[in-house]
Amino acid sequence: MPRRKPQRKNTRRSAPPDNSEGSLFGSALMRQESGPAGDADESYIVRTIPGARATKSYRCPGCDHDIRPGVAHLVTWPAEYGGAEDRRHWHTGCWSGRSTRGLTRRWS
């Protein structure tokens, strides 16, 4: 009985999925969400940072603890006026609970 040749997988990339929640920024997905307690009426851009891309240590404004290198987290900044100096790195859990507690410290 003759053997069939194994079929090759299609290696072409398909078009990116329709993403109505966020936009693609490089390889990172960004979305818009309400801000932390006190700024809940303001919109923030939120970007996920995977652990493999987290190379520096940051201080989370939600819990005032370090976000160590290698730990997946979020970067947020105000949608209206946010620039590089307005970006803040949050633990994912701290950002999720931002509506129930305020910031532990204000940055300047």
Rounded to the nearest 10°, the torsion over CA 9, 14, 20, 25 is: 100
Separation between Cα atoms, residue 75 and residue 44, nearest integer Å: 10
What digits encode the pLDDT tens for the residues 7-58? 666 555 444 444 444 444 444 578 999 888 777 788 999 999 999 999 999 9
Separation between Cα atoms, residue 10 and residue 81, nearest integer Å: 44
User: What is the token pair recorded at 83?
Assistant: 């620039």
Rounded to the nearest 10°, the torsion over CA 98, 34, 108, 87 is: 100
Is pTM, for the whole model, over 0.75?
no
